[in-house]
Amino acid sequence: MASYPALRFDVADEDAEAWADALLDAGALAVDVSDPRAGTPDETPLYGEPGIDADSARGWPVSRLSALCAVGADPDALLAAAAAALATTPPSHAIYAVPEQDWVRATQAQFGPIAIEPGVWIVPSWEKTPAGAEIAIELDPGLAFGTGSHPTTRLCVQWLRANVDPAAEVLDYGCGSGILAIAAAKFGAARVTGIDVDAQAIRASVDNAHRNGVTARFVLPDALAPHAYDVVVANILSNPLILLAPALAGRVRDGGRIALAGILDAQEDAVRAAYAPWFTLAAWRRAEGWVLLAGTRHPTRGGAGSATR
């Protein structure tokens, strides 16, 4: 198989975006920006989230740019063209080869069956269900977010198994690949709805529900009619969760339950404060620096019920 030429070099964080754009304009097939200290004790994790002021967002002190070039292209010439566009000189860099391969198979190889808890497995569609699995959630994320491998997904599935009643109506807010909605249906929920702003996520969720033989409805936000649910689960990120607090609270009936994930331990207090007018949230379980917060909706003053009723 042919190999793709590639180059890598390090730049200051404030210059990374300009260099990436210049490399793409010069003909690079793709540009990756990463932390050159990844995998070392000096690695700096970044959690960019909606709702963060752009002026306060920070990157790594130094960013590593890796540019993939077309077969037969000259990486030095491409870098020189990018540097000329930026009116600077080419930085010190390394050139290497990227062997051609079946990228779909290479990606699939990263994900095998995942044990959520005894008897409950998330199984990629290209893998066999492990022997002894009581509940298997077959999953193909497609172009949507959600393979089941993240600690927050495991926390949410565990919470749903412990808290979904047979008569419950469940809303999966930010459904991604549909994994939580499908889990709720497999755990016996009477009615399950998933919502996401990404049409690709809706498509993947519908396909995965069909693959699992469960009934669930997946819609874009504008198609979700006013209604309050028995259970709302949202595995997003802390800042969107904070911004969405009134909207999510309005989707939970009085006495209904909510589970929020995608929250780092250090972000717990801010999320709890945002939901305090409607819930007394508590840490249900933690995993690898992440926490799932859960609570029951307080009765609405005057007994009128939830705002979406």
Note the CATH number of domain 148-303.
Answer: 3.40.50.150
Work out the angle between the directed axes of helices 13-25 and 75-85 (0-180°, nearest 10): 120
Spatial neighbors of 4 by CB under 8 A, at least 6 apart, are 29, 68, 69, 70, 71, 97, 98, 99, 100
Check for a shared fold between 3-100 and 148-303.
no
Gap between the terminal Cα atoms of the chain: 61
Taking the CA atoms of 126, 127, 133 and 137 in sequence, report the sign of the dihedral they define.
Answer: negative
CA within 13 Å, CB half, 59? 15
Residue 53 pLDDT > 80, yes or no? no
For the chain, the domains span 3-100, 148-303
134-185 pLDDT tens trace: 999 998 866 555 666 789 999 999 999 999 999 999 999 999 999 999 999 9
Strand order in the sheet with 3-12: 30-34, 62-68, 3-12, 94-99
276-290 pLDDT tens trace: 999 999 999 999 999
Q: Which CATH entry fits the domain spanning 3-100: 3.40.1620, 3.30.70, 3.30.1120, 3.40.50?
A: 3.30.70
Which pLDDT score is estimated for 3?
A: 85
The verdict on pTM exceeding 0.85 is no
